[in-house]
């Protein structure tokens, strides 16, 4: 006999449904026509009445509150080790469709404290002892459109985040606080969805005030409350009362092409340029920060202009949430000049000022004139040659004069005979110096060293576009020359520019992986060393790095370790995802992030969370 002999799965006639009870014993019942459990035919009963299980109604008196209750069927335990924590809840039938992984729940303790937790897993479990891995069961399910929810248990795994409790502050007002999870809730405790903004922000340790980044979300949907506005804004700490402003502990924005990282970066930088943003200095002044942004695609100078797509209704919402918006009037495009190239600057209305990189900058920064990799001996020889050159020509010595200087055979012979620079080393240095882009140094524009007041302006945005330059080496030279000039003045006890030294600054660098890569060359090590020192001294000197990249794995580790806040948008490359070092539960979401969605990992600010950025850019963004 085969399964096809059973008429309930093979017969398509009208009688098949009536005959299907003949195999109900496969699901724990008895066959039609067989005696019931005690072998007694009850008078007046039918076969169906004798052999069908009676369903017990799950409804009880009263109104349901919450989403379900804690279960002890598999243990109820909280521990210091997350892997030893067992916290599971039964979700009632009517609430199951609303439950999602990542949602935040509240579990009350018998007193006034509450456990704030997050759903980490969802599972259907069998309610009755039955085998549903059979041909008969599968084909029966294929013939019906629904299944009975109450036939299954729906269980949620919970991760405790914090215990919420109330206490009086110094002014006698009641305030909500959080602490680590140090107690286990009672069995059967009722779960409720977290819908109060204060509870959610306290549970996740999100500051009430600070730099706006976006709105809290779970699975790509904004978390909403009963308040107005219903969304929960996420902000970065930006004052000294609750710790150092996180802008000076550095930020990374990582995302692939089309992920919306430029849009998000513009919106964040716009907050640092708001009228109310200012930081106290050591001399007692309170100064608005300057933003200097290196721009490889000529996109950031557009921040000078308003976004025509930002309508009045959206503007009112931004004002209610205290989000700065609109073009930044004090925007300057500081344009590097290169012989044979021009900067069109047609995509914005910002003021344009041209500058050149003076060769004198190489005196303190020899790596700027090293056209390609140098070993230690060659770098030492280059320093010797530059020192001798500037002693002979003074600060006004040019790149063209330095090449003529190296063409002197008598100089080469003298240094070789004195043992200071071997002739082979001399030739290697000369090849690399001559390989530099010839049209960058000493062009017919004002030197960057004389434009410090245009480069750094309190409350102003300076954009340094590089897309018009002829080669990647030319772009690298200009970006590193200007950034090194800023960093050196910031960190120096005897700066060349008091304006730079005494102004809080955000130094933004798009495509940062091109300039801060970890490489085994002298000049690469010098650049990484300079930026690492800048990152370490940022809090003291009011200098914040704002690095933007699609290849975070290529940023040198000494610099990467100093980045406290990481905003991770969609990344498709596994190495890139692994390199950002975010928690595993959020890391798995990164490849599926839609445009504008991102993860924020800022341990000194909040728990790791998922956010949705603003759908409209706060400034012009073509």
Residue 571: its pLDDT value, please?
A: 95
The alpha carbon torsion through 405, 408, 413, 419 (nearest 10 deg) reads 10
Residue 517 lies in a domain: yes
Q: How confident is the model at residue 13 (pLDDT cuts 50, 70, 90)?
A: very low
414 and 306 housed in the same domain:
no
Q: What pLDDT band is residue 522 in, cutting at 50, 70 and 90?
A: confident
554 or 22, which is more confident? 554
Q: Given pLDDT bands bounded at 50, 70 and 90, which one contains residue 63?
A: low
Q: How far is CA 191 from CA 61, 113, 165, in A?
A: 19, 14, 17
Q: Report whether 268 contacts 213 (CB < 8 A).
A: yes
Lowest-confidence segment of 30-44, 74-88, 175-189, 394-408 by average pLDDT: 30-44
Contact 63, 44 (CB under 8 A): no
Q: Say if residue 388's pLDDT is above 90.
A: yes
Give the structural domain span for 188: 68-130+146-205
The answer, yes or no, to whether residue 22 has pLDDT greater than 50, is no
Comparing 210 with 37, which gets the higher pLDDT? 210
| pLDDT above 50: residue 34 | no
Shared domain check, 347 and 240: yes
Instruction: Categorize the per-residue pLDDT at 60 as very low, low, confident or very high, splitting at 50, 70 and 90.
Output: low
The tens digit of pLDDT for each residue in 562-590 reads: 999 999 999 989 999 999 999 988 999 99
Q: Tell me which of 435, 468, 490 is where a domain ends.
A: 435
If asked whether residues 184 and 299 sit together in one domain, one would say no
Domain shared by 593 and 479, yes or no: yes
| Predicted pLDDT at 227 | 83
For the chain, give the mean pLDDT: 88
Q: Do 123 and 271 sit in the same domain of this protein?
A: no
- Between these two residues, 46 and 483, which has the higher pLDDT value? 483
Condensed to tens digits (0 to 9), the pLDDT of residues 270-317 reads 999 999 999 999 889 999 999 999 999 999 999 999 999 999 999 999
Residue 24's pLDDT band, with cuts at 50, 70 and 90, is very low
Percentage of the residues of the chain whose pLDDT score is greater than 90: 73
Same domain, 414 and 448: no
pLDDT band at 467 (very low <50, low <70, confident <90, very high): very high
- For residues 325 and 5, the model is more confident at 325
Minimum mean pLDDT range among 25-34, 121-130, 231-240, 527-536: 25-34
Contacts of 436 (CB under 8 A, 6+ apart): 369, 371, 399, 473, 477
Residue 12 has pLDDT above 70, yes or no: no
Query: In the chain, how long is the greatest CA-to-CA distance?
Result: 126
Do residues 353 and 382 share a domain? no
More confident residue, 158 or 83: 158
Would 313 be classed as within a structural domain?
Answer: yes
* CATH for 593: 3.40.50.300
149 pLDDT higher than 90: no
- Identify whether the C-beta of residue 90 lies closer than 8 Å to the C-beta of residue 173: no
Phi, psi of 36 (to 5 degrees): -75, -170
Distance (Å, rounded) from C-alpha 33 to C-alpha 46? 9
Lowest mean pLDDT among 5-14, 156-165, 386-395, 514-523: 5-14
Q: Identify the pLDDT of residue 353.
A: 97
Residue 146 has pLDDT above 80, yes or no: no
| The domain boundary residue, chosen from 384, 404, 435 | 435
Q: How far out from the chain centre does Cα 425 lie?
A: 45
- Report in angstroms the alpha-carbon separations of 275 from 287, 289, 324, 472, 559: 11, 10, 8, 36, 30
Per-residue b/e over 318-330, b at no fewer than 16 CB within 10 Å?
Answer: beeeebbbbbbeb
- Per-residue pLDDT at 58: 53
Q: Are residues 379 and 501 in the same domain?
A: no
What is the number of structural domains in the chain? 3
Please write the tens of the pLDDT for every residue from 484-504: 999 999 999 999 999 999 999
How far is it, in rounded angstroms, from Cα 224 to Cα 8?
Answer: 49
The pLDDT value recorded for residue 9 is 44
Torsions phi, psi for 565 (to 5 deg): -110, 125
Identify whether residues 522 and 430 lie together within a single domain.
no
Give the best-scoring range by mean pLDDT among 59-73, 507-521, 557-571.
557-571
**Position 194 in a domain:** yes
Taking each helix axis as running N to C, give the angle between helix 376-393 and helix 423-434, from 0 to 180 degrees, rounded to the nearest 10: 70
Mean pLDDT (whole number) for 63-83: 87
Instruction: Tell me 434's DSSP state.
Output: H
Query: Does residue 268 carry a pLDDT above 50?
Result: yes
pLDDT number for residue 51 = 53
Mean pLDDT calculated for residue range 339-343: 94
373 burial (CB, 10 Å; 0-12 / 13-18 / 19+) is middle
On the question of pLDDT at 27 being above 60, the answer is no
CA gap 157, 123 in Å, rounded: 8
Determine, yes or no, domain membership for 24.
no
H-state helical runs in 555-601: 557-560, 574-579, 584-587
pLDDT tens digit sequence for 220-251: 899 998 888 899 999 999 988 877 899 999 99
Exposure string over 489-498, b if 16+ CB within 10 A, otherwise e:
bbbeeeeebe
Task: Using pLDDT thresholds of 50, 70 and 90, give the confidence band for residue 1.
Answer: very low
490 and 422 in a common domain? no
Among 435, 458, 475, the domain-final residue is 435
Do both 325 and 430 map to the same domain?
Answer: no
């Amino acid at each position: 006999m085969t399964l096809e002999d059973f008429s309930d799965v093979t017969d398509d006639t009208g009688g098949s449904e009536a005959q299907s009870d003949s195999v109900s014993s496969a699901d724990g019942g008895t066959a039609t026509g067989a005696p019931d459990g005690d072998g007694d035919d009850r008078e007046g009963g039918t076969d169906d009445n004798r052999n069908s299980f009676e369903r017990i109604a799950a409804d009880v008196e009263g109104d349901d509150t919450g989403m379900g209750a804690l279960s002890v069927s598999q243990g109820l335990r909280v521990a210091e080790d997350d892997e030893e924590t067992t916290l599971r809840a039964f979700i009632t039938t009517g609430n199951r469709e609303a439950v999602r992984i990542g949602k935040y729940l509240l579990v009350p303790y018998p007193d006034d404290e509450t456990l704030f937790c997050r759903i980490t897993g969802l599972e259907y479990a069998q309610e009755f002892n039955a085998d549903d891995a059979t041909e008969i069961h599968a084909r029966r399910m294929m013939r019906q459109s629904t299944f009975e929810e109450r036939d299954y248990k729906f269980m949620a795994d919970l991760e405790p985040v914090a215990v919420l409790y109330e206490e009086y502050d110094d002014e006698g007002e009641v305030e909500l606080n959080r602490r680590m999870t140090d107690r286990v809730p009672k069995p059967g405790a009722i779960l409720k969805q977290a819908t109060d903004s204060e509870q959610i922000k306290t549970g996740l340790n999100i500051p009430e005030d600070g730099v706006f980044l976006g709105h809290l979300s779970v699975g790509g949907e904004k978390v909403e409350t009963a308040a107005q506005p219903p969304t929960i804004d996420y902000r970065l700490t930006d004052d000294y009362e609750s710790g150092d402003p996180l802008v000076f502990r550095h930020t990374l924005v990582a995302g692939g092409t089309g992920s919306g990282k430029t849009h998000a970066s513009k919106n964040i930088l716009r907050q640092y340029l708001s009228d109310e943003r200012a930081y106290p200095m050591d001399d007692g002044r309170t100064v608005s920060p300057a933003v200097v942004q290196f721009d490889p695609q000529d996109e950031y100078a557009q921040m000078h202009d308003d976004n025509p797509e930002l309508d009045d209704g959206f503007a009112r919402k931004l004002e209610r949430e205290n989000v700065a918006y609109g073009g930044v009037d004090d925007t300057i495009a500081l344009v590097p000049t290169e012989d044979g190239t021009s900067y069109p600057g047609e995509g914005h209305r910002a003021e344009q000022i041209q500058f050149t990189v003076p060769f004198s900058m190489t005196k303190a920064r020899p790596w700027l004139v090293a056209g390609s990799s140098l070993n230690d001996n060659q770098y030492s020889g280059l320093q010797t040659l530059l020192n001798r050159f500037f002693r002979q020509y003074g600060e006004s010595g040019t790149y063209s004069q330095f090449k003529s200087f190296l063409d002197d055979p008598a100089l080469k012979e003298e240094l070789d005979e004195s043992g200071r620079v071997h002739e082979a080393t001399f030739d290697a240095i000369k090849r690399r110096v001559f390989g530099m882009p010839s049209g960058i140094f000493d062009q017919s524009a004002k030197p960057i060293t004389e434009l410090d007041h245009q480069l750094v302006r309190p409350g102003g945005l300076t954009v340094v576009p590089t897309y018009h330059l002829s080669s990647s080496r030319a772009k690298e030279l200009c970006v590193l020359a200007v950034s090194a000039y800023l960093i050196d003045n910031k960190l120096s006890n005897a700066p060349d520019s008091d304006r730079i030294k005494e102004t809080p600054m955000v130094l933004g660098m798009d495509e940062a992986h091109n300039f801060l890569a970890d490489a085994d060359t002298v000049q690469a090590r010098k650049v990484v060393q300079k930026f690492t020192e800048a990152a370490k001294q940022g809090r003291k000197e009011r200098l914040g790095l704002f690095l933007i990249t699609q290849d975070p794995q290529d940023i040198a580790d000494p610099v990467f370790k100093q980045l406290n806040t990481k905003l991770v948008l969609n990344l498709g490359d596994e190495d890139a995802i692994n390199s950002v070092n975010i928690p595993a539960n959020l890391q798995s979401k990164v490849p599926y992030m839609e445009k504008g969605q991102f993860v924020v990992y800022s341990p000194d600010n909040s728990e790791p969370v998922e956010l949705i950025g603003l759908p409209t850019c706060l400034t012009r963004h073509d």
